[in-house]
Amino acid sequence: MTIYERLKDGLPLSDTPVIDEHCHLEYYCGGYQPKGTAADIVAVMDKLGVSISCISHCGAFVDQRYGNDRVAAALAEYPTRFVGYCTINPLYPDEAVNELDRCFGMNGFKGIKLHPWCHERPMSSVHYKKVYEYAARHNRFIMSHTYTPDDVETTGRLADEFPDTIFIMAHLGGYFPCFEQAVAVLNRHPNVYGDISGSESREGFVEWLVREAGPKQILFGTDMCCMDGRATLAMIAAAEMPDGAKADILGLNMRRILDTCA
């Protein structure tokens, strides 16, 4: 059966590796979101056939240690189902390296999460300098909320400055025309990826992305639990493109990224 046929028949994609690269644990920026516990997320993953979700906690936007500890607890409870992001608050740059060391000293943390919009610090801010240098030194990938032209442009500059570091543009800029700018960055930089979570998704959006940038740098991210992951999965599964391209987006591309940090 094709990926679309399995989805249409209500079957999980058990024969296709599916990795959700962008998932939020428990609550989003202090707002209530139903089904946000680790157990709730795993139940949805099982329903959809998602094997692994990469999680962060929005509590870390204020208190990075608290939020990262909540992620650590979920990793301990579901070590085969979750991969953790260590979220860094750039308002405390002198604490960044110690917090990164602490997180990566625990099992399950693989990547670094940044949210320039929440912290009102653009990706180009000197407050992130130690984070970028740490990622390059320790072979860690960086996923950053990317929702402005400056975010996208800065990602390209960072990819030039740190060519061995993988950068993930969460939301791929978020809307048109940022999408076109993000595609140009992908085409220039093999170490840059983008996820389609929470984006302004129009009819044919995924097909357009693959046509313009190819399938190898596009990632499946749902933005659960503040977004409904079922819609994102359906958008990829029902797209008019070969199953090989869908498999790349749904999990194979992220699997390669995670393997760089093994």
For the chain, the domains span 3-10+18-260
Distance from C-alpha of 232 to C-alpha of 189, rounded to nearest angstrom: 25
**Which 8-state DSSP code applies to residue 248?**
I
111: left (phi over 0), alpha (psi -120 to 50) or beta: beta
Average pLDDT over residues 87-99: 91
Question: How many CB atoms within 10 Å of residue 42?
Answer: 17
- Give the list of residues 6+ apart from residue 239 with CB closer than 8 angstroms, or none: 206, 207, 210, 246
Render pLDDT for 184-206 as a digit per residue (tens, 0 to 9): 999 999 999 999 987 677 788 99
Residues 44/17, Cβ–Cβ less than 8 Å: no
Q: Above 80 in pLDDT, residue 31?
A: no
Residue 13 confidence (pLDDT): 76
Task: Report, at the CATH architecture level, how domain 3-10+18-260 is classified.
Answer: Alpha-Beta Barrel (3.20)
Render pLDDT for 51-85 as a digit per residue (tens, 0 to 9): 999 999 988 888 899 999 999 999 999 999 999 99
205: burial class by Cβ within 10 Å (0-12, 13-18, 19+)?
middle
- Please choose, from the candidates 173, 175, 169, 174, the residue with its C-alpha nearest in 3D space to the C-alpha of residue 195: 169
Residue 8 confidence (pLDDT): 85
Average pLDDT of every residue of the chain: 91
Render pLDDT for 4-16 as a digit per residue (tens, 0 to 9): 998 888 887 777 8
3-state secondary structure of 22: strand
